[in-house]
């Protein structure tokens, strides 16, 4: 017996608050916004312990691709469970890890030839940073130990990843513990000057990057970016030209380019890898979240062959001596293979674009709302900002709570409302979603207890 499963919603909420320390949560506030108790999930729907349903507007923190309980992924995991749930990957190997590495490399046309496995996004970022530094060290250039990241970028919350994250609320408390990094201008298209378009912002941001690289390239190991969309910044979207220019600059100044595709990979922006839209390949790709369709934790760092080669030596310490116990977990790799099977057997990207246009049409009336600004979409990510004069300090919380009353699980970031749904929309669902979003917005903005104290933004 593993405990009682007979409780209703209130019972699970009470027990959760008494025993679980929830992530990214000020637990004192959890009494006002108690965790939503979820008993089961199917497709885009989450169901609580009393049968109420919620549309998963953010794909459960951006991990779910094809809806919950997808039968293909479920079957693959069950099959793997009967053969080999897990074996250590140092000194052993197995078919799911090998096939996944081969198939991901093939998706880069072989440019990024080796896959290093870990479990979460932040651990993939740690690996890419360490590999970059160690590569230069192996080449006798150990003074290249600084990293560059974009303003408002987010790469995870372990100490290394946090060092290249520029989201104050996550970073400030730990600042004394972090590596020093350089933050350069974000190419966020919302920061366009009068008369400037998104490509112009990209060029201006790249010019700032160039200044830094020209001065300090001897000390800089890598630039890390979230390609096309800076998620935790509030779905800040930017022109692909920035990636092209960043690639050129990194080549010119001998600095690695790390593409953190943890949130934007797996078709989310309209191409399998977001970098494909700039027709560039980075030196490292970090992948996680959607790669298992939202079933199991897995992350992967793909690297170019020249990087891999620089670690080969008779000397053990020149190798990459990094590991996590569940590295290359066989169940997670099988889930990821089932995800790739779907991309290989269906034209998912075209299907998504078709779905996305239908949702665009359904959202059209809301776009005319004068209280909103900066409507934007990249692939299967939609976002808009509520103008500051209409959004109270606790806007995100009010909106989230109003969403619950309209069958939506939705968590704005500050005053940015976004949709990042599983790839299962159709026209009726799109119309329903747009209608519920509008009703939620009305309720959130009319809320009499809207507190005007500014609050930090969390995802
Ligand atoms: C771009 C990006 N990088 C890294 C991470 C960290 O991933 P994880 O939460 O799995 O550690 C996230 C998580 O949201 C992310 O969006």
Q: Which atom of ligand 1 is found nearest the CA of 156?
A: 6
What is the predicted pLDDT for the residue at 453?
A: 57
Q: Is 169 left (phi over 0), alpha (psi -120 to 50) or beta?
A: alpha
- Which band of pLDDT confidence, cut at 50, 70 and 90, is reported for residue 459? confident
Work out the number of other CB atoms within 10 angstroms of the CB of residue 347: 10
Burial grade of 220 (CB within 10 A; 0-12, 13-18, 19 or more): buried
Backbone angles phi, psi at 118, to 5 degrees: -150, -160
What is the predicted pLDDT for the residue at 454?
A: 56
Whether the per-residue pLDDT at 149 is higher than 50: the answer is: yes
Strands 112-118 and 299-304, by their bridges, are: antiparallel
- Which residue's alpha carbon is nearest to atom 8 within ligand 1? 121
Structure tokens at 335: 């889930």
What is the predicted pLDDT for the residue at 2?
A: 46
Which tens digit of pLDDT belongs to each residue from 50-61?
999 999 999 999
What is the 226 CA–ligand 1 centroid distance (Å)?
10
- Which residue's alpha carbon is nearest to atom 16 within ligand 1? 263
* Ligand 1 proximal residues by C-beta, below 6 Å: 120-122, 125, 154-156, 226, 231-232, 260, 262-263, 288
Which tens digit of pLDDT belongs to each residue from 277-309?
999 999 999 999 999 999 999 999 999 999 999
Structure tokens at 99: 């096939």
What is the predicted pLDDT for the residue at 145?
A: 98
Whether the per-residue pLDDT at 154 is higher than 80: the answer is: yes
Element spanning 400, H or E: helix 395-405
Whether the per-residue pLDDT at 447 is higher than 70: the answer is: no
Question: Among residues of the chain, what percentage have pLDDT more than 90?
Answer: 94
Mutate to test the pocket of ligand 1, among 288, 301, 420, 459 (most ligand atoms within 8 A of CB): 288
- Which band of pLDDT confidence, cut at 50, 70 and 90, is reported for residue 250? very high
């Amino acid at each position: 017996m593993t405990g009682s499963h007979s409780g209703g919603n209130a019972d699970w909420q009470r027990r959760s608050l008494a025993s679980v320390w929830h992530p990214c949560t000020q637990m004192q506030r959890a009494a006002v916004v108690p965790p939503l108790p979820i008993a089961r999930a199917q497709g885009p729907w989450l169901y609580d312990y009393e049968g109420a349903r919620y549309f998963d507007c953010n794909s459960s923190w951006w991990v779910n691709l094809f809806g919950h309980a997808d039968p293909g992924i479920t079957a693959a995991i069950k099959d793997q469970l009967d053969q080999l749930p897990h074996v250590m990957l140092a000194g052993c190997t197995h078919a799911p890890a090998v096939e996944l590495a081969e198939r991901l490399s093939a998706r880069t046309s072989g440019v990024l030839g080796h896959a290093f496995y870990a479990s979460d996004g932040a651990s993939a970022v740690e690996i890419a940073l360490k590999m970059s530094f160690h590569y230069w060290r192996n080449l006798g250039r150990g003074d290249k130990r600084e990293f560059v990241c974009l303003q408002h970028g987010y790469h995870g919350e372990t100490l290394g990843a946090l060092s290249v994250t520029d989201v104050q609320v996550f970073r400030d408390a730990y600042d004394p513990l972090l590596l020093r990094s350089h933050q350069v201008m974000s190419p966020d298209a919302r920061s366009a000057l009068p008369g400037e378009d998104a490509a112009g912002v990209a060029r201006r941001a790249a010019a700032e990057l160039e200044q830094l690289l020209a001065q300090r390239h001897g000390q800089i190991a890598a630039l890390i970016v979230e390609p096309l969309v800076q998620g935790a910044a509030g779905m800040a979207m930017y022109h692909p030209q920035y990636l092209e220019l960043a690639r050129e600059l990194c080549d010119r100044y001998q600095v690695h380019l790390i593409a953190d595709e943890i949130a934007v990979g797996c078709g989310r922006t309209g191409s399998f890898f977001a970098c494909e839209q700039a027709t560039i390949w980075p030196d490292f790709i970090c992948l996680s979240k959607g790669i298992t369709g939202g079933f199991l934790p897995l992350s992967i760092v793909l690297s170019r062959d020249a990087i891999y080669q620089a670690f080969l030596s008779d000397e053990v310490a020149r190798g990459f001596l990094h590991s996590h116990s569940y590295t290359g977990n066989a169940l997670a790799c099988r889930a990821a293979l089932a995800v790739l099977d779907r991309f290989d057997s269906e034209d998912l990207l075209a299907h998504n674009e078709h779905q996305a246009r239908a949702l665009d049409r359904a959202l059209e009336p809301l776009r005319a709302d004068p209280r909103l600004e900066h409507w934007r979409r990249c692939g299967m990510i939609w976002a808009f900002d509520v103008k500051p004069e209409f959004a109270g300090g606790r806007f995100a919380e009010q909106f989230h709570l109003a969403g619950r009353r309209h069958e939506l699980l939705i968590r704005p970031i500050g005053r940015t409302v976004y949709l990042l749904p599983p790839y299962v929309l159709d026209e009726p669902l799109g119309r329903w979603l747009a209608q519920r979003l509008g009703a939620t917005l009305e309720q959130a903005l009319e809320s009499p207890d809207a507190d005007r104290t500014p609050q930090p933004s969390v995802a």
